[in-house]
A and B are shown apart, each in its own frame.
Chain A
Amino acid sequence: DQQVKQNSPSLSVQEGRISILNCDYTNSMFDYFLWYKKYPAEGPTFLISISSIKDKNEDGRFTVFLNKSAKHLSLHIVPSQPGDSAVYFCAARDAGGTSYGKLTFGQGTILTVHP
């Protein structure tokens, strides 16, 4: 059972426009959510995160929104740049018991930003 889902395998956006990447989760024990970015032939790198007690976190061009009632989070990139083209993974941390700190990842969304 996939506890973290990214239902859009890919997204194509024009440079300068907004990119919106979505993520849904099912486990109410998740207390922290993260977005990772991955370029080809490299490991994922941390991008931005949000605690479950907040509904928004902003860092430059990147903003993450959390809707706990809908178990949904989204990553907004404004304005999008060609260098943002990468695979984006949503991840959630389980606060419960012996799995504390363990991250569960979504399937990833390939973002392509066209010049």
Chain B
Amino acid sequence: NAGVTQTPKFRVLKTGQSMTLLCAQDMNHEYMYWYRQDPGMGLRLIHYSVGEGTTAKGEVPDGYNVSRLKKQNFLLGLESAAPSQTSVYFCASGQGYGYTFGSGTRLTVV
């Protein structure tokens, strides 16, 4: 009964490095989302997907890319990390009325 699983849970990157955050869900949801949480800003949508092979930009997409090659997986990539991308990242999946969130990835860019 895993729900939504995010890996890794913590990561420290140097400015300019790249990395990929992985999100996996086992609930057969069509919709998946990536949010970032920053103090005083709440949860802001980065990118989302309404089905396998589809992606769309959210509120704060710059500096990020995503892929949804398989229905159960949604990847978030940072090609060249910047200190402004220091945040807690949450993946969510949902169908209709509300989401299930993963436990988050705390990313620090130094």
Contact = CB atoms under 8 A, between A and B. Distances in A.
Interface of A: 4, 6, 9, 32, 34, 36, 41-46, 49, 89, 91, 93, 98, 101-108
Contacts of B56: 98
Interface residues of B, number: 27
Nearest to B106: A41
A46 B42 contact: no
Nearest to B90: A43
Chain B interface main SS type: strand
25 contacts: A6-B42, A9-B40, A32-B97, A36-B101, A41-B104, A43-B102, A43-B103, A44-B43, A46-B98, A46-B100, A98-B56, A101-B50, A101-B95, A101-B96, A102-B33, A102-B58, A103-B33, A103-B94, A103-B98, A104-B45, A105-B35, A105-B42, A105-B43, A105-B44, A107-B40
Contacts of A101: 31, 50, 94-96
Nearest to B58: A102
Given A32-B97, A43-B103, A101-B96, A108 B42 contact: yes
Nearest to A103: B99
A34 B58 CA distance: 19
A99 to B, nearest CB: 9
Given A44-B90, A107-B40, A49 B103 contact: no
